[in-house]
Structures are given as C-alpha cells and as structure tokens.
Structure 1
Amino acid sequence: MTFRLEIPTLETGRLRLRAPRQEDFEPFAAFFAAPRTEYIGGPLGRSDAWWGLAGTLGMWAFRGFGMWMVEEKASGAVIGRVGPWRPDGWPEPEIGWSLFEGHEGKGYATEAALEARDWAYRSAGWTTAISLIAPENAASKAVATRLGCHREGDFVHPEEGWHAEIWRHPSAAELSA
C-alpha cells in the first residue's frame, strides 16, 4: 500500500520550504539535542526527535497544513523548520519557526515565516494567526515584531503547564488592505 501526502513546496529568494525527508533527521536531532531548544520543548533525545520529525509530517496528514523544512537554496542545507500548525492544546493556529544553529541573524526566520503565513492565508483558508513565544526568547520576539505581530496576551498549556506569550499576526484582511 502506498500513502501519498501532498505537501507543497514554496520558494523565496534564498529559501525553499519543503516536506520533511528522512535525511533531515540528523540535523533535526542535532538541533533538538541542544539546550537552546528549551523554548520549544527540548532538549530531546534521538528517539523523541524522531517522533518530532514524524509528527511534523503527521500534522499535514491530520490538518492539511504543517511545518516545512527550511532549505537554503545556495547550499542545499536544511537550516530549520517553519510553518502553520496547531498542535493539541494550542489556543489557535500558529505560525512557528525554528532555525538550526549557525543560521540565525540572517533574516531567514522572517523570510520563511512571511512565506508560510502568506500560504496559510491564501491556501489553507486562515484569516488570522498567532505565534506562541517563551517570555525569555528575545530572538523570536524580534522576528515576530518584523512580521508585524503585536503582543496580545499570555497562554498556559492546559496539560503541560508551560507559559508563552501570544503574539498576534496581522490578519489576512489587514495585509490585503
């Protein structure tokens, strides 16, 4: 039996947003093993990282949207992930982003998140989106600000108890006005 999952590929000037592949596992696992992933559920061991990458694909199957792997066109290297998603317990659909070590500070997160948000509004029927950001994560707050987001409130996960700030993206209507 063959299962076919249709995940679109998007391109920006410097980046390709594409479906996760098995060969993405090593850089994905290395990223999630690092202490800096504390804001997004890490650090994770290899087994949990494997389930995380598999879950990235599963979101597409369950919801029709999800995270893409971010590939740098010039090098072909996978440098992070970005996309519209809504894990269980989230208050609303979210645009999320994570860049692997060594690829921060180049505008990649903003470039990729803009493309992902545009796709969510245009193709997934979203009219609004949030980003959940750990209060200590200054880098992600800076990306959110560049995306035109504003701080709207706070969120505590109902089962896991972690706290995040809610950053509201401009709506589809605001962006098209």
Structure 2
Amino acid sequence: MTTFNIPTLQTDRFTLRAPCLSDFEAYAAFGSSERSAPVGGPFDRTTAFRNLCALGGQWQLRGYGRWIVAGKETDAPLGIVGIYHPDDWPEPEIGWTLFEEAEGRSVAFEAAQATRAFAYETLGWTTLVSHVAPDNTRSAALARRMGAEKEGVFQHPSYGQFDIWRHLSPDEVAA
C-alpha cells in the first residue's frame, strides 16, 4: 500500500489542509460558475470531482501541492491555495483560487504567505512564481501585495498567456 502525507498548515484565521469528500459540493459549485474560468471552467461535476482528486495526486507525485483553505472555526472550504506544478508548467507556482464567499477577506493573501513560507522553510526552495492571466487584476494586485514583481510572460497552449510574477526570495522575505 502506498501512503503519503499532506501537511496541515495553520494561519491566524485559516487551516490549509488536505481535501476531503465534504469539500466536493463547494468545489463543484465553484467549478460550475464563471469564477472557474481562469482554471479552465466552467466545468461539470464529473470534471470537478476529477480536479478535486488531483489535489491529492500532485502531493503523491511531487511531494508538494495545493491545500483546501478552510475557516478555522467552521472548517468550511473557502478555496484552494498552494504550490501548483502540472507537467506543462515551466516551474512551480504559488496558485490561489477562491470560492465566492471568501472574496475580499484576505484569504488568498494569508494562505499564499503560508504557502511561500512552507516552500522556503520546509522544502528549502529559494524562488517561486505565480502565473497570472493579464486581465486578472485582483490576482496581479495580490502578487504585488506579496512583493512579487512581473518578470515576463508564459504562453500556455490551452489557457493562453500568463504574466510571470517572481516572488521575494527567502532572504528578502526575512528582511
């Protein structure tokens, strides 16, 4: 039997944890909405289930991945944040996807900071990027808020163009 561990991270207000079946309805609702367009949506329930399962799969194959971000008090799923690295991506990225009820609450900011700390402190990495669609002004603002700087573009064959935002290094974060 193969087993793997998805660590749980805690921030002041949120828990970053492994996906579970109880997250599916919230994820399927997100997937069927226009909010999912930047990640290939809208998509049906079958695709939503496959995508939710893939969260655990990347942890198994790469040893890192994305978490469900849940409220500390309620454990209600608010979105998905973590390190995304599919085969056709040039390098691992901090990615964030929020469900509608999480918008405007700094959920992505807090969870992305925890993700960056995990990558630098636990995985020992020295650099990270975020790929942001040029028209996604909210994600670009979040990347800027985290101190990232736009350094180029990445053309994906299916999803189109992304701006590459390079995050602060571990030394710059510590300063």
**TM-score, scaled to structure 2:** 0.95
Task: Evaluate the alpha carbon distance shift between residue 53 and residue 161 of structure 1 in structure 2; reply closer, same or farther with a 3 A threshold.
Answer: closer
Alpha-carbon distance, 1:18 to partner: 0.3
Alpha-carbon distance, 1:161 to partner: 5.4
Matched AA of 1:62: L
Report the secondary structure of 2:127's partner residue. Answer: coil
Unaligned ranges ≥5, structure 1: none
Alpha-carbon distance, 1:85 to partner: 2.2
CA distance in 2, matches of 1:150, 1:161: 22
| Corresponding residue for residue 168 of structure 1 | 166
Identity %: 46
| Corresponding residue for residue 13 of structure 1 | 12
CA distance in 1, matches of 2:140, 2:81: 15
Alpha-carbon distance, 1:92 to partner: 1.1
Is the Cα–Cα contact under 8 Å of residues 40 and 159 in structure 2 kept in the other structure?
no
Task: Evaluate the alpha carbon distance shift between residue 161 and residue 146 of structure 1 in structure 2; reply closer, same or farther with a 3 A threshold.
Answer: closer
CA distance in 2, matches of 1:7, 1:102: 25
Q: Deviations over 1:140-160 (max 9, x none)?
A: 111111111111111101x42
Matched AA of 1:172: P
- Written as runs of structure 1 = structure 2, the 5 A alignment for 1:10-159 is 10-157=9-156, 159=157
Report the secondary structure of 2:100's partner residue. Answer: coil
Matched AA of 1:20: P
CA distance in 1, matches of 2:168, 2:85: 18
Task: Evaluate the alpha carbon distance shift between residue 98 and residue 161 of structure 1 in structure 2; reply closer, same or farther with a 3 A threshold.
Answer: closer
Runs of 4 or more above 3 Å deviation: none
**TM-score, scaled to structure 1:** 0.94
Matched AA of 2:121: R
CA distance in 1, matches of 2:43, 2:29: 9
Aligned-residue Cα RMSD (Å) equals: 1.2
Matched AA of 2:70: E
CA distance in 2, matches of 1:102, 1:10: 21
Q: Deviations over 1:41-99 (max 9, x none)?
A: 11111111111111111000000000000001122211001001211111111000111
Q: How many residues align?
A: 175
CA distance in 2, matches of 1:85, 1:102: 22
CA distance in 1, matches of 2:82, 2:159: 24
